[in-house]
Amino acid sequence: MLIRRPPDLLPSEITPEPLARGRRALLKGLGAGAALAGLGLPQISQAGSLGTLRPSPLSSDEKLTPLKSVTGYNNFYEFGTDKEDPARHAPGRLKTQPWTVTVEGEIKRPRTFSIDDLLKLAPLEERIYRMRCVEGWSMVIPWVGFPLAELIRQVEPNGQARFVEFVTLADPQQMPGVRSPLLDWPYVEGLRLDEAQHPLTLLAVGLYGEVLPAQNGAPIRLVVPWKYGFKSAKSIVRIRFVREQPRSTWMKAGPSEYGFYSNVNPAVDHPRWSQATERRIGEFIKRKTLPFNGYADQVAGLYSGMDLRRFF
């Protein structure tokens, strides 16, 4: 992964918590396009409020990262490698309607879902999650989505399914980055079946109460908050239930640097830098990185008995 230090943010870019919450309420009440244009924020490509959302007891109560950073400082290599490239190139280019997600492999009920089909699987919830990138920066993001477990229940994995592979869109017409051999396209990620079924694992269709902006992985992406950000695949088109551990894009790109599990572990350094601390976007002083990104109580049990230095 290319390494860049987050540029220092201006004080004016940091939204105090009460304001951030107020902005969320405002965004909920208005159409996203109008609200965002009025605030001078990046445009959401497919405007639309997601209506009343169920809050979740699994949400963090930490200060939200401003929308401007959540939608303006991204990794989405299909649209370029600079942090500003996805916001610059994805909106307007990424066509998110119609969109289907094909679910196949070791399951009893293979099926191709439209986004509307997926939205019928479960009520949407707001989940405020800490997210930490392997590059050493972090954010707190109010995602909107539903547990991946609901989809898994529908398709009924058979006894052979041990892993789930996520394949994302790779269309050179829409995605300028895919025209270069930087990564082995399409972008692929994988989880063990029990990780995929964990209640924290989300399929996100929105953030800040609105439809997911193109640069954040519209129209549907994975969100796995206890793992480094790259496990959270964007713009998913295919979900495969498989017997063998999938080879993910970053494992292919740098097997010694990006392991399959990729759990946030401050005790395991990346070969080229420490993972002990992180910089929360909008803050100046680095904070200590927590094991499993602070979700150890909920997820450490998934890895009991495993040597997490070997299975990094």
Q: How far is the CB of 76 from ligand MTE (least distance, A)?
A: 5
User: Residue 64 interacts with ligand MTE (CB under 6 A)?
Assistant: no
- Pick from 221, 241, 233: which is nearest to 115 by CA? 221
By CB under 6 A, is residue 208 in contact with ligand MTE?
A: no
**CB nearer to ligand MTE: pick between 117 and 184:** 184
Question: Comparing C-alpha atoms, which of 151, 180, 182, 138 is closest to residue 278?
Answer: 138
Nearest one of 75, 8, 68 to 283, comparing CA atoms: 8
Tokens 């943010």 correspond to 9
Region from 88-96, 108-116, 120-128, 230-238 binding ligand MTE, contact rule CB under 6 A = 230-238
Please choose, out of 75-83, 190-198, 237-245, 304-312, the segment that lies near ligand MTE by the rule CB under 6 A. Answer: 75-83
The values of phi and psi at residue 177, to 5°, are -65, -30
Nearer to ligand MTE, 20 or 133 (CB): 133
Residue type, 136: G
Contacting ligand MTE within 89-108 (CB under 6 A): none
How many Cα atoms are found within 13 Å in the side-chain-facing hemisphere of 174?
Answer: 15
Q: Is 234 in the site for ligand MTE (CB under 6 A)?
A: yes
The answer to whether the annotation marks 258 as part of a ligand binding site is no
CB 218 to ligand MTE: min, Å = 10
Up-side HSE of residue 211: CA atoms within 13 Å toward CB? 21
Residue 78 labeled ligand binder:
yes
Among 216, 275, 289, 293, interactor with ligand MTE by CB under 6 A: 216
CB of 233 vs ligand MTE, minimal distance in Å: 5
Q: Where does residue 88 rank: exposed (0-12), middle (13-18), buried (19+ CB within 10 A)?
A: middle
What radius of gyration do the chain's Cα atoms show?
Answer: 18
Nearest approach in angstroms of CB 81 to ligand MTE is 9
Three-state SS at 117: helix
The answer on whether 295 is annotated among ligand-binding residues is no
Question: 249 and 187 in contact (C-beta within 8 Å)?
Answer: yes
Distance (Å, rounded) from C-alpha 286 to C-alpha 135? 13
Pattern 17-56, ligand MTE, x by CB under 6 A: ----------------------------------------
Sites of contact with ligand MTE (CB under 6 A)? 74-78, 133, 168, 187, 216-217, 229-230, 232-235
Which positions make up the binding site for Mo-molybdopterin? 74, 77-78, 133, 168, 216, 221, 232-234
